[in-house]
Chains A and B, each alone.
Chain A
């Protein structure tokens, strides 16, 4: 069964460094999402992406964040200058259309030291 994959599974970085989290959505899906979950807290929406542009973003998704679909398969989340409070699990999700279910990847645990 096709699934969303994410790499790396765990990323450790120093405060102020740039990180890129990678996702490979399910191949025929058209809508892509990033969420984050700070340890012990609920999952929070970051951004949605469709037709090569951002369709929605939350207040969390400030100028330090950017998303890109550099080719036909990858979907990336970049954090330009990481802060301690960016430490969280980051989940990518995709779906085929607006009326279908979102499928989540296994997540990338980002630790900022």
Chain B
């Protein structure tokens, strides 16, 4: 069964610190892997999208990596800000069905 697992489930860090969120998936074949930021009660907003052939993609302070061989991805947040507090969701697009398969997310809280 196609699955996307994320760790940790939740994370608390101090403002200004860096953090790395992990994603493991079993979706195969896949067309792309995305990281979304979801504020409480809001829709997901895309941060990065990577195809099979890409292994890193940056968007400001967010850097995503992808290892398609081990089926792992990470999202690194640099110099965290209070506004980074949100859920970060790893999403893999199934190449056969084009469906998006969502992970359970990592809930990040940034404290001053």
Residues in chain A within 8 A of chain B (CB atoms): 4, 35, 41-45, 48, 56, 58, 89, 91, 93, 98, 101-107, 109
Contact among A4, A45, A101, A106 for B46, CB-based, below 8 A = A101
Shortest distance from the beta carbon of A79 to any chain B beta carbon, whole Å: 19
A109 close to B41 (CB less than 8 A): yes
Taking the complex as formed, is B17 at the interface, i.e. its CB lies under 8 A from any CB of chain A? no
Contact among A45, A105, A107 for B100, CB-based, below 8 A = A45
A56 close to B105 (CB less than 8 A): no
B42 close to A43 (CB less than 8 A): no
Contacts A48-B98, A56-B97, A102-B100 given; indicate if A42 touches B49 (C-beta within 8 A). Answer: no
Q: Which of chain A's residues have a CB closer than 8 A to the CB of B98?
A: 48, 56, 98
Cα separation A106 to B45 with both chains bound (whole Å): 10
Contact among B42, B43, B99 for A45, CB-based, below 8 A = B99
Report B8-59 residues with CB < 8 Å from chain A CB.
34, 41-46, 49
B-side interface residues, number (CB < 8 Å)? 18
Shortest distance from the beta carbon of A112 to any chain B beta carbon, whole Å: 18
A42 close to B102 (CB less than 8 A): yes
CB contacts between A and B, total, < 8 Å: 43
Shortest distance from the beta carbon of A10 to any chain B beta carbon, whole Å: 10
Cα separation A101 to B99 with both chains bound (whole Å): 13
Contact among B42, B97, B99, B105 for A42, CB-based, below 8 A = B105
Q: Which of chain B's residues have a CB closer than 8 A to the CB of A45?
A: 99-102
Q: Which of chain A's residues have a CB closer than 8 A to the CB of B89?
A: 42-43
Contact flags (1/0) for B90-102 with A, using CB distance below 8 Å?
0000000111111
Cα separation A18 to B4 with both chains bound (whole Å): 33
Q: Which of chain A's residues have a CB closer than 8 A to the CB of B104?
A: 41-42
Report B50-100 residues with CB < 8 Å from chain A CB.
89, 97-100
Q: List 9 A-B contacts (CB under 8 A).
A: A42-B103, A48-B99, A56-B98, A93-B43, A98-B98, A101-B34, A101-B46, A102-B46, A109-B41
Q: Which of chain B's residues have a CB closer than 8 A to the CB of A101?
A: 34, 46, 49
Shortest distance from the beta carbon of A36 to any chain B beta carbon, whole Å: 11
